[in-house]
């Protein structure tokens, strides 16, 4: 705004035109990106409450239609029963094949297993992350920077590469696709109780805390562990909260590793991610009267909404933690 005070009338007009064009491109780009993200969610929600004839119709409809009138249906006339069928299943009345056309999905076990795995993974991971970040940010020991550089270099390796070695380790312990629920939990939790990225993330926050506080605490005879608990952790609370939230989201989204180590035939061991695929496997038809694409969208909605709710509730903590981590050091 100050620049406008030093421009003549013609220069001011050109400046305002350029600024308007710049803002126009910026807002157009932001709107395009927003639509690119929002439209798939909107389509998932709308498709989850459509009738089978409509979900398989070649005609595009932005809202569910009334089957009798062909007009846009009122919300109370939408196919909300698609959600109920996920829990009750669809009995096979054709007399051909098995008892079920679509088996009830074990949402109870899927949510319970995901929460249990996410909780213990997060607890152990946050503990190791805090201790490692404190050591690399405050403790002076020989080879500290070299060791930290080596850890950072492991971030350049794709995560899929570690799946092979983790799988071999868990297989030697006999936990792969085990029918024992405890062994199944251990196979899902232990490979992810550390994180180099979160260690780096938290270390950046710890390094922003003045070192004079640490030196003063040492003069007063405070131990490193007491200083960590009473000073470092409270001051880095936003970043640690962010790590907790992102870790839980990561567990919720994990698909490759749970698919490797869990037994798909034991539906009580499924997580939200692989349970969605296993529950719908062999039952999805893209066309015809037996299509359950609308139920697939309903199942996707059920496992997506809790994640979105958590994100929007704790969004300010995530943003605050990211901004505090900075790039110092």
Q: Which of 125, 154, 109 is nearest to 250 (CA)?
A: 125
Average pLDDT (179-199) is 90
pLDDT tens, residue by residue, 30-80: 999 999 988 988 888 888 888 887 887 777 888 888 777 778 778 788 888
Q: What local confidence, expressed as pLDDT, does residue 329 receive? A: 42
Q: What local confidence, expressed as pLDDT, does residue 327 receive? A: 45
Q: Above 80 in pLDDT, residue 280? A: no
Q: Report domain extents, the chain.
A: 2-47, 107-325
Helix (H) or strand (E) holding 102: strand 100-102
Average pLDDT (126-133) is 93
> Counting every residue, how long is the chain?
329
Q: Which of 324, 35, 119 is nearest to 203 (CA)?
A: 324
Using CB atoms within 10 A of its CB, is residue 283 exposed (0-12), middle (13-18) or buried (19+)? middle
Q: What is the pTM of this model?
A: 0.80
Distance CA 125, CA 141 (A): 23
Average pLDDT (93-103) is 65
To the nearest whole number, what is the mean pLDDT of the chain? 83
CATH code of domain 107-325? 1.10.3720.10
Torsion sign over Cα 18, 19, 22, 24:
negative
Distance CA 163, CA 158 (A): 10
Distance CA 209, CA 205 (A): 7
Q: What local confidence, expressed as pLDDT, does residue 224 receive? A: 84
What is the DSSP secondary structure assignment for residue 65, as one 8-state letter? B
What is the DSSP secondary structure assignment for residue 51, as one 8-state letter? -
Q: Above 60 in pLDDT, residue 178? A: yes
């Amino acid at each position: 705004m100050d620049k406008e005070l030093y421009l003549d009338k013609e220069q001011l007009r050109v400046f305002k035109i350029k600024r308007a064009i710049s803002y126009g491109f910026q807002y157009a780009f932001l709107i395009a990106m927003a639509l690119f993200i929002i439209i798939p969610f909107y389509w998932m929600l709308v498709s989850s409450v459509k009738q089978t004839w409509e979900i398989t119709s070649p005609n595009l409809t932005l809202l569910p239609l009334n089957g009798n009138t062909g007009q846009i249906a009122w919300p109370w006339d939408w196919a909300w029963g698609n959600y109920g069928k996920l829990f009750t299943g669809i009995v096979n009345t054709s007399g051909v094949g098995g008892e079920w056309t679509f088996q009830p999905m074990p949402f109870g076990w899927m949510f319970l297993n995901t929460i249990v795995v996410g909780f213990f993974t997060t607890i152990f991971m946050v503990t190791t992350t805090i201790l490692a970040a404190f050591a690399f940010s405050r403790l002076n020991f020989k080879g500290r920077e070299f060791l930290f550089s080596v850890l950072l270099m492991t971030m350049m390796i794709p995560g899929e590469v570690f799946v092979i070695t983790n799988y071999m380790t868990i297989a030697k312990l006999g936990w792969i696709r085990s029918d024992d629920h405890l062994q199944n939990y251990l196979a899902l939790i232990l490979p992810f109780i550390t994180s180099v990225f979160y260690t780096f993330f938290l270390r950046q926050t710890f390094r922003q805390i003045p070192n004079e506080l640490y030196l003063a605490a040492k003069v007063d005879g405070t131990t490193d562990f007491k200083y960590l608990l009473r000073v470092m952790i409270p001051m880095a609370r936003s970043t640690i909260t962010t790590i907790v939230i992102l870790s839980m989201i990561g567990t919720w989204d994990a698909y490759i590793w749970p698919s490797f180590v869990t037994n798909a035939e034991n539906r009580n061991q499924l997580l939200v991610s692989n349970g969605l695929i296993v529950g719908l496997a062999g039952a999805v038809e893209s066309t015809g009267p037996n299509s359950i694409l609308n139920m697939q969208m309903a199942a996707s909605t059920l496992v997506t909404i809790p994640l979105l709710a958590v994100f929007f509730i704790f969004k300010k903590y995530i943003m605050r933690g990211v901004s505090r981590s900075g790039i110092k050091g």
